[in-house]
Amino acid sequence: AQTVTQSQPEMSVQEAETVTLSCTYDTSESDYYLFWYKQPPSRQMILVIRQEAYKQQNATENRFSVNFQKAAKSFSLKISDSQLGDAAMYFCAYRSYYGGSQGNLIFGKGTKLSVKP
Amino acid sequence: KAGVTQTPRYLIKTRGQQVTLSCSPISGHRSVSWYQQTPGQGLQFLFEYFSETQRNKGNFPGRFSGRQFSNSRSEMNVSTLELGDSALYLCASSLAGTNQGLEQFFGPGTRLTVL
């Protein structure tokens, strides 16, 4: 069974600085998807960024980028130029490539990010 | 396009009762998944429905059940409520649940408190 581990329960960053959130996972599959989701205090979970395991290039979405190390099974999220609105719980998630009966997301425990003005 | 909606947003029940939660997916989305979120266990997958059929199921007791209607709206039911069922229940919809329409869009959740 696949597992996702986020070893940092809480992180803090100064506004405009850069922060990196860690995520490791365990799987025997070679093809899969990885995601970072953000859950602000309002509770609506939104997708931040996704990475296909078969792509070597790291995904980037504006100020958000990932460092995907497939061999190490590591998937960290870097937030550049942090803003107050980035304060939220961040969840790393895994999904099997094949979907269907294996299409559910497997989440880590989350990292609570605080942004200091 | 309207997002995923869940009703009710808050619910208080007592042990032994049963509860039904509702989820309306984004228009055109045929897959609806349910997740339970608690401080201790985090986010755990309950089940997924696609075209009115349960396609995937997590490791929850039979007290947790669900269904999906022809318009893709979904309901989940919890019978004989226990204190440990207190949680935020999240619904997520996607286009197809396969490699197409990969992204899952989440609703705001229903906060269930069992007293």
Distances (CA, A) of A36 to A9, A61, A116, B32: 15, 11, 22, 20
d(CA B76, nearest CA chain A) in Å: 17
CB-based burial label for B62 (10 Å; 0-12, 13-18, 19+): exposed
Please give the pLDDT value at position A98: 75
User: Cα dihedral angle (A97, A35, A107, A53), rounded to 10 degrees?
Assistant: 40
Q: Where are the domains of chain A?
A: 3-116
- Selected for mutation to probe chain A from B102, B111, B112 (highest A CB count within 10 Å) is B102
Tens digit of pLDDT per residue, chain A (117 long)?
A: 889 999 999 999 999 999 999 999 999 998 899 999 999 987 789 999 999 998 888 999 999 999 999 999 999 999 999 999 999 999 999 998 876 667 789 999 999 999 999
Interface check A64 vs B, CB under 8 A? no
The CATH architecture assigned to A3-116 reads: Sandwich (2.60)
User: Cα dihedral angle (B34, B74, B22, A45), rounded to 10 degrees?
Assistant: 40
A32-55 pLDDT, tens digit per residue, is 999 999 999 877 899 999 999 988
